[in-house]
Each structure stands twice: as C-alpha cells, then as structure tokens.
A and B are shown apart, each in its own frame.
Chain A
Amino acid sequence: MYKIAGQLAWKSLMRRKTRTWMVITMIAMSLSGLLLLQGIYDGMVSHMINTAIRSDSGEISLYASKYRLEKNLDYRIGNLEDIKKYLDKQNMIDAYVIRLAQEGLAATAHKSLGAILKGISLEDERRFGNFDTFLSQGEYSFGDKDREALVGFKLAEKLKATLGSRLIFTAQDANGEINAIAFRIKGIVKTGGLAIDEGSIFISMEKMAEFLSLSGAATQIALRIKNESKIKNVQNALQREFESIDVLRWDELYPLLIQMREMMDVFNMVSYMIVFTIAALGIFGVILVSILERVREFSIMLAIGTPYQNIRHQIVTEAFIMSLFGYVLGAFSGGILLLYTASSGIDFRYFEAGLESFGLNAVLYADIRGYYFLQAFGAVFFATLLSVLWPLRVLKKIKPIEAIQGKML
C-alpha cells in the first residue's frame, strides 16, 4: 500500500513540476537564509566572547580580593612570583599575561578624559591572544625607549589624538601621590571590546611599574586554558591554591555576553518560527490547492475501494518529498553560504558605526555548527507535518459520490 502511495505521490509531483519546484525552492531559500542568519547571530556573539577573552579576561582571570569592587592599588596581587611558579607548572594553562592597571586622567592639548592605563608585555599579549591583530594604525610597539603607547581607537578619537600625538596621563601611584606620565601614541588598537576601545591606554609593564612606584605586583593575571571543558576544574584548583585571590571565569566577568548569547538564541527561535510559519503556510497552500484540484480523482479512488489511509499516505508523502528536497537543497546552499561567510565574512560597512557601538566589526563572520542542520531538519519536518493536517481534514470530508456527481466541484 505504501509503495502505491509513494508512486502516486512521486508521479503527482512530477506532473506538476513547476509548482513542486516552487515549493522546494521556497523551503530551500527559507532554510538557507535561516542557517545564514543563525550562523551570523552566533558568529556575532562568538566574536564578542572571543574578543573579550583574547584582549582581556582570558578564560580565567585572577584579581586581588576586593579589587573589582574598588579599583585601588591597595588591592593588588602581591605574591606574583608564587603565582607565576604555580602557573608555569600547570599543563592545562596555555598562556598567561600579567597586567598592572590604574585609573586616571588622559589629556591631550585638546581634551582630557577619564581612562585606564595598563602596563602589559606586548610579546606576552601576542602569545596570549594575538593582541597585535587588534592594531588598526601605527606599530605594535612601545618604541625604543618604552616611551610610547597604544591607545584604544575610540579614546583616541575622543581625545582628538592621532599617531604621534602626545598624551599625558595623571593618576595616583602606590604611595598615594599624584603622578603624571607623558608619552606619544605609537599605535591605535581596535578590539571590538568597548572597555578597551573607549578607555584604555597600554604602556610597557616596566614603565607602568616605574610610574606607579610599584614592582612585582599586578592587578590582573589572565589565563588561557587549553581545554574549554577543563575551565571549571582549573578555576577550582586555583581558588583552592590561592584562597585570598578572586578566580573568575570569563562568563562571570562578562555576564552581559551570556545574556547576549541567550538573547541571540531567542532571536534564532523567533526567526525559526517566523520563517517556518511562512514555509508551512506555503506548503499548506500548495497541498490544499493540489487536494482541491484532485477532489474528483481522490473521490474516484475512494469510490473504487482505495482505502482512505492510502490517499492520506500519498498526500503526506508528497509533502515530505517536497520538504526533503527543500531541506537537502537548503542545507547545501545554506552550508555553502555559511562556509563562505565564516571564511570571508559579510561586509556591513554601511552599518559600521552601529555595529561598533555593540563592539562589533563591520565585517561579520558566521559560526558553523552541526546542530544548525539538525534543528533545521526538525523545523522542516514539523512545518511539513503541520501544513498537511488541514488539507487531510478536507480530504477526510470528501464524499465520493458528491464529487463524482460534481456537487463538490
């Protein structure tokens, strides 16, 4: 019985090729658009998380207790050598950086603004998170005598500073004295992280220690962990080892990114619902019309003894054949779009300002995850199932004799 239903379904679809291909194309286009959208949404969030990890938090960051509540140098990590020795022995830790930061006032000849001055090692930062790739202008260097700095691009804009501009940073040192340091801008960085782009200035660790009259100390130690699944284990081990230090994961430091990821999941779900409601309506319309067109044919089939189930199988098979082809075509074209977007990105230069305010670059890259295709398959399957329910009800109400006598036509 299933074989006959399958044959009839296939032949019916082939008989109405244009309509069949229109539905298949509609499903395929909806699906590939949806896959691309999902990939870009996830890519945006991944980009923000990745940027935050590479440029700031690592997978785990260590802070002196209370430092995050009150950015005071009194709350600094002092036992730096002990921590370094411990970290050097841990094979789960891929890299780590030591940073020394202090809030203060950055001034140019034109303007002064609150900012954070950070002492870092450029080489360590390069190993840690390819920090050099964030350089948008100038050189990745503090100059021959460590008298130059890297500045976040938004901060540079606000200070009306360019490469070579002179900056003066005023802040309180470890002894509570107000000190000032002058340097020229060697490079401008654009990370996508708002805190860095809008308010950070980077100088060498040595210069920073000298400026703050503080050596052998840090305000943050950020770690890169080799295996994502081991982050919690490493965190727990570090917390046990250094009880007086706050050991925090990136998601604890950036709860907003987690919220954003959850929000994107909701966006994805809403997009799925909208797109597949439209697709389901499309399939529904085509199936309903194809049933109404063939009421007489189905009536004849019922009249000569064809079981209703057989005709139901035929209709459901027709819908699923179209959906399956639509899915395969959509998954294939969506996969290609995702691959392209993951490697080359999509240029949204016209929306650059808006994207930057969210910490995103003008070129957005998509993520590709296997479950997209499984989700899409489930959605297509569900949409198809929903779309045939009403047409099947119509079919069930057919009275063969009325159709044969032309009363339903």
Chain B
Amino acid sequence: MKLIHISKTFFPGSSKEVKALTDINLTFEKGEFTTLSGESGSGKTTLLNIIGGLERPTEGKIFFDGLELTALSDEQMADFRLHHMGFIFQAYNLISVLTVRENIGFIMKLLDYREDEINNRINELASVLQIENILDNLPGQISGGQQQRVAVARAVASKPKLILADEPTANLDSKNSQRLMEMLRALNEKEQVTVIFASHDKYVLAESKRTIVLDDGAVIEDR
C-alpha cells in the first residue's frame, strides 16, 4: 500500500480550519505489523481512517495493489472494505442483536461463504482467541476484553489483506491488552495479514515491528 502526498484539512476555508495531516508519504508491505503512534491530536486516527476509506484526503493518492483507492466512489470503497479490509475499533462495536458466533461470521455471510466454511472459521478463531465458551452469548453478556477479542475475530474472519485497528487496547486492562496484542501478532504471523494500528499504548508499541510517529499531522519518525 502506498500513500502519496496525503494531506487532510478539516473545514477548509472556514475559521475552524484544521490541518490534520500534511504531505504524508508512506509505503506498507504485505504482512507488516505497524503502529501509527503519537500524542492525541497528532493525526494518527485520521490517517488510519483515510487508509480505510472512511475519510477522504484533501490531497494525495492511495494505492493498494495498484488500485487507486482515492478514486473509488463511496459504494466502491465500501465494497473494497468488505472484501479486503478488517476493522477493529476502540469501543469494540459489535452488533448488539447478534450472538458472538453471528458477529464473527457476519462479514463472511455478507461475502456469501458457505455455512460449513463459516462455522469452521469461527471455531478456528474462537480457539485461537479463547472465546469458545461464549460463542452463543450476546455482546452485552460478555466482558470488554472478550468483546474486543470477538471484534478481532470478526475483523480477521474473512482473511482480509489489511486490518486497521484504532486504539484497540484503549478500554482494556494491561493483562487483556497484552493478551490481545499477542493474539493479533500470532494471527499476523500465521495468516500473513497486514495490520496497522493507531495507538500510543505501550503494549501495542512493544509488539509492533514498525512504528511510525506522527506529530502535528506530519511523520516525524519511521523506525
């Protein structure tokens, strides 16, 4: 994935104008386990949202396997996300009326996977993420740590090429944060999925293979 001269300005031309990102140029290779880091307001979440197509950059282009994502319409981008991206949000954001099993299999169902394929994948992920015993529970009946693991399972279930995770450990205690990162790392290594985090959590940073530090909307460090 290539980001070329990406800039983002909120409320351009008005008195509230905010320059969130300035001339970002980055390349992500397949299988990377990268964290976008920085203080609050540094632009890491905005950059993650732009990579995921949830926000449009004011300037610049994004290419994924040669496809210009910034040229896609909203519908095409939604379809691209469905087929190639997985999302993990800070607040878990599971579908409240579906059971854990149904939440994990949701994307696969949208992608018309066969029932047996879905079930096998759910069982496989449940085993890796240690959530086998809560598969028939509703999200409201399980803990935050469990919900975030379910969100991870949902994000990786259809084996997307890219997983974007925004502050996935922000609402977890240290033990659950560490456990989640170990699991994500294991999935990254096992399934060669590219993972990009937006976080300043020490556990996330500790597990990352690459850290990109942003400050005031610009990349100040890439190690």
Q: Which residues of A contact B (CB under 8 A)?
A: 1, 3-4, 7-8, 11-12, 14-15, 296-297, 300-308, 310, 400-401, 404
Contacts and interface: CB of A to CB of B under 8 A. Distances in A.
B171 to A, nearest CB: 14
Contact of A308 (B78, B81, B106, B109): B78
B107 A305 contact: yes
Contacts, number: 64
Given A400-B54, A401-B55, A305 B96 contact: no
B82 interface: yes
B158 to A, nearest CB: 9
Contact of B75 (A4, A308, A400, A401): A308
B28 interface: no
Contacts of A404: 54, 89, 93
Contact of A303 (B79, B87, B96, B109): B87
B74 to A, nearest CB: 9
B110 A310 contact: yes
Given A304-B107, A305-B85, A401-B54, A12 B97 contact: yes
| Residue among A4, A14, A304 having the largest count of chain B Cβ atoms under 10 Å | A304
Contacts of B78: 302, 305-308
Interface of A is mostly: helix
10 closest A-B pairs by CB: A305-B82, A305-B81, A11-B97, A300-B93, A401-B54, A15-B97, A304-B87, A12-B97, A4-B109, A401-B55
B49 interface: yes
Contacts of B26: none
A4 B86 CA distance: 19
B95 interface: yes
Interface string B83-125: 1011101000101111000100011011000000000000000
Contacts of B55: 401
B99 to A, nearest CB: 9
A7 B154 CA distance: 18
Contacts of A307: 75, 78-79, 82, 110
Contacts of B107: 304-305
27 contacts: A3-B109, A4-B106, A4-B109, A7-B102, A8-B97, A12-B97, A14-B97, A15-B96, A296-B93, A297-B93, A300-B93, A300-B95, A301-B95, A302-B78, A304-B81, A304-B107, A304-B155, A305-B78, A305-B83, A305-B107, A306-B78, A307-B78, A307-B79, A307-B82, A307-B110, A310-B110, A404-B54
A317 to B, nearest CB: 13
A324 B85 CA distance: 38
Interface of B: 49, 52, 54-55, 75, 78-83, 85-87, 89, 93, 95-98, 102, 106-107, 109-110, 154-155
B89 A300 contact: yes
B169 to A, nearest CB: 17
A296 B92 CA distance: 12
Contacts of A300: 89, 93, 95
Given A300-B95, A404-B89, 4 more contacts: A297-B96, A304-B86, A304-B107, A400-B54
Nearest to A11: B97
Given A307-B79, A401-B54, A297 B109 contact: no
Nearest to A10: B97
Contacts of A7: 102
A4 B109 CA distance: 7
B89 to A, nearest CB: 6
Contacts of A304: 81-82, 86-87, 106-107, 154-155
Nearest to A400: B54
Contacts of B106: 4, 304
Contacts of B95: 8, 297, 300-301
Nearest to A401: B54
Nearest to B49: A401
Contacts of A12: 97
A12 B96 CA distance: 9
Contacts of B83: 305
Nearest to B78: A305
A11 B75 CA distance: 26
Contacts of A301: 95
A22 B49 CA distance: 40
Contacts of B97: 8, 11-12, 14-15
A306 B110 contact: yes
Contacts of B80: 305
Nearest to B95: A297
Nearest to B155: A304
A305 B79 contact: yes
| Residue among B82, B93, B98 having the largest count of chain A Cβ atoms under 10 Å | B93
Nearest to B81: A305
A7 B95 CA distance: 12
A215 to B, nearest CB: 87
A4 B95 CA distance: 13
A302 B85 CA distance: 12
Contacts of A3: 109
A307 B109 CA distance: 12
A7 B115 CA distance: 15
Nearest to A304: B87
